[in-house]
């Protein structure tokens, strides 16, 4: 039986919430950026040869780019 989830409260810890849904890619690199009490990541794309990275910005700006990518065999099998 599934357990009901509680709704997010306004004073909930924002680092525990997951507002983003970005497809899992084998060529993406997430870089943790340390800021005061915030969890922020910069995103880089390493497609096609993993030698040169292309900066995509933070998760908000990379979300649209990564989710519309049409490169073949780039996403993990459970994402197709």
- C-alpha torsion angle, residues 43, 48, 52, 58 (rounded to 10): -10
Q: What is the pLDDT at residue 23?
A: 79
CB atoms < 10 A from the CB of 62, how many? 21
pTM for this structure? 0.62
What is the per-residue pLDDT across 7-65, written as a single tens digit (0 to 9) for each? 555 555 555 555 557 778 888 998 988 877 788 889 999 988 888 999 999 888 898 88
For residue 63, which of 20, 16, 33 has the smallest C-alpha distance?
Answer: 20
Q: Is residue 71 classed as helix, strand or coil in its secondary structure? A: coil
Residue 68: is its pLDDT beyond 80?
Answer: yes
Burial of 68 (0-12, 13-18, 19+ CB in 10 A): exposed
- Model confidence at 80, pLDDT cuts 50, 70, 90, reads low
Distance CA 59, CA 73 (A): 22
């Amino acid at each position: 039986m599934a357990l009901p989830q509680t709704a997010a409260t306004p004073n909930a810890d924002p680092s525990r919430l997951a507002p983003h849904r970005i497809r899992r890619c084998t060529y993406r690199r997430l870089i943790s950026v340390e800021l005061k009490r915030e969890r922020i990541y910069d995103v880089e794309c390493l497609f096609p040869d993993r030698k040169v990275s292309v900066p995509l910005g933070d998760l908000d700006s990379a979300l649209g780019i990564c989710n519309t990518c049409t490169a073949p065999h780039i996403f993990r099998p459970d994402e197709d």
